[in-house]
Amino acid sequence: MPEGDKTTGCEGAPRHVAIIMDGNGRWAQSRGRPRLFGHHAGAKRVREIVETCPDLGVKYLTVFAFSTENWKRTQTEVAGLMSLFRRYITKEARALRDEGVRVRFIGDRVRLDAKLIALMDELELLTQENTRVHLTIALNYGSRDEVARAIKRMAQDVARGDLSAEDVDESTLTRYLDTRVLPDPDLVVRTSGEARISNFLLWQSAYAEYEFIDTLWPDFTADIFEGLVRDYARRDRRFGAVKA
Ligand code: IPE
Ligand code: IPE
Ligand code: MG
């Protein structure tokens, strides 16, 4: 696992924060604007939050940008989101690189268009030496889909004789997931007032702490983020054990 630069940070900060960035549509609709207006406003929030991470001591930030279920939306919204992702990567690439951000994508790429996949590959390559903060963008990501894809590859390896079924345990599955190089999330935040997980990092968040907040994603600020990180630092995680 990459270690990298030292961060100052808040004592007891979560090493990995994962965010379900929800509420863009409602944010736009409350202003009488189309849903895509909210998605654009939401995308702008990401960089400020990533840049806050090193000061707080958060080394990994994972954001849910598009789920395997989001294809059910109108063709206009899906196409608008795909175009936003292409534009976002093109526009932000240099700043992310210069800020020391290592970007990775998780999710199934097969349904994405070739131009977008090429931009994702380029950004991963461009930032691969960075270690200050690790930003993972979940795009066409669904936890069940990820587990199913992992098991498929695992079964293929067993069939080829590269893996013994006898040796399969929790750590084996972890190594086949898209998140294989990431530590488990310590804190999962969902904005917009919904208290559900919507198929995000189910396996990885088995022992995460959760925060469901009412703020809509385009209104999310560095101050709100810092407050959540400080609240986390006060929590008592027991992982099933009893404290001595
Ligand atoms: C989250 O905002 C972004 C995506 C799912 C792509 P929504 O688009 O879900 O916004 P609401 O929940 O409808 O307000
Ligand atoms: C979850 O939000 C997915 C993302 C934030 C990308 P949704 O808005 O798609 O989730 P549901 O439909 O409210 O469960
Ligand atoms: Mg939503």
Would you state the pLDDT for residue 2?
A: 43
CA-proximal residue: ligand 1, atom 13 (nearest): 25
Would you state the pLDDT for residue 90?
A: 98
CA-proximal residue: ligand 1, atom 3 (nearest): 22
Which two tokens mark 53? 């991470």
Whether residue 173 is contained in a domain is answered as no
Rounded to the nearest 10°, the torsion over CA 47, 183, 196, 48 is -10
Record the pTM: 0.96
Whether residue 11 is contained in a domain is answered as no
Active site residues: 22, 70
Whether residue 2 is contained in a domain is answered as no
- Separation between Cα atoms, residue 184 and residue 201, nearest integer Å: 9
**In the predicted structure, residue 68 carries a pLDDT above the cut 90:** yes
**In the predicted structure, residue 4 carries a pLDDT above the cut 60:** no
Phi, psi at residue 221, to the nearest 5°?
Answer: -125, 170
Residue 210, CB-side half-sphere exposure with 13 Å CA sphere: 16
Would you state the pLDDT for residue 178?
A: 98
Whether residue 103 is contained in a domain is answered as yes
**Ligand 2 mean position, distance from CA 37 (Å):** 17
Whether residue 163 is contained in a domain is answered as no
Query: Who contacts 119 (Cβ-Cβ below 8 Å, separation ≥6)?
Result: 86, 89, 90
- Separation between Cα atoms, residue 177 and residue 183, nearest integer Å: 12
Q: Region 110-122: what's the mean pLDDT?
A: 98
Per-residue confidence band for 244, with pLDDT thresholds at 50, 70 and 90: confident
Ligand located closest to 188 CA: 2
Task: Count CB neighbours of 235 within 10 A.
Answer: 13
* Beta-bridge partners for 210: 188
Percent of the chain topping pLDDT 70: 97
**Which of 68, 198, 215 should be mutated for ligand 2, with most atoms under 8 A from CB?**
198
- CB contact at 8 A, 204 and 62: no
- CB contact at 8 A, 7 and 54: yes
Question: Position 226: which residue type?
Answer: E
> Could you read off the pLDDT of 96-106 as tens digits, one per residue?
999 999 999 99
Q: Region 198-226: what's the mean pLDDT?
A: 98
Q: Is 114 exposed, middle or buried (0-12, 13-18, 19+ CB in 10 A)?
A: exposed
Q: Region 182-192: what's the mean pLDDT?
A: 98
* CATH code (residue 37): 3.40.1180.10
Whether residue 48 is contained in a domain is answered as yes
- What is the full DSSP assignment across 51-65? HHHHHHT--EEEEEE
Over the chain, what is the mean pLDDT?
Answer: 96
Whether residue 244 is contained in a domain is answered as no
Residue 194 CA, closest ligand 2 atom number:
13
Would you state the pLDDT for residue 5?
A: 52
* Ligand 1 near 26 CB (within 6 A): yes
* Ligand 1 near 66 CB (within 6 A): yes
- Separation between Cα atoms, residue 237 and residue 240, nearest integer Å: 9
Whether residue 113 is contained in a domain is answered as yes
- Separation between Cα atoms, residue 65 and residue 85, nearest integer Å: 9
**Which of 21, 139, 189, 192 should be mutated for ligand 1, with most atoms under 8 A from CB?**
192
**In the predicted structure, residue 156 carries a pLDDT above the cut 60:** yes
**Ligand 1 mean position, distance from CA 43 (Å):** 11
Which two tokens mark 185? 């999330």
Ligand located closest to 198 CA: 2
- CB contact at 8 A, 23 and 218: yes
**In the predicted structure, residue 94 carries a pLDDT above the cut 70:** yes
Which two tokens mark 174? 């972890």
**In the predicted structure, residue 164 carries a pLDDT above the cut 60:** yes
Write the Ramachandran bin of 23: left for phi over 0, alpha for psi from -120 to 50, otherwise beta: left
Ligand 2 neighbours, Cβ below 6 Å, are 20-22, 64-67, 70, 194, 196, 198
**Ligand 2 mean position, distance from CA 189 (Å):** 13
Number of domains in the chain: 1
Would you state the pLDDT for residue 105?
A: 99
- Separation between Cα atoms, residue 209 and residue 12, nearest integer Å: 13
Range of the domain at 71: 16-144+185-232
> Could you read off the pLDDT of 8-67 as tens digits, one per residue?
688 999 999 999 999 999 999 999 999 999 999 999 999 999 999 999 999 999 999 999
Q: Region 123-152: what's the mean pLDDT?
A: 98
**In the predicted structure, residue 183 carries a pLDDT above the cut 50:** yes
Ligand located closest to 24 CA: 1
Dump strand ranges (E) for the chain.
16-20, 60-67, 101-106, 133-141, 187-190, 209-212
- Separation between Cα atoms, residue 142 and residue 62, nearest integer Å: 14
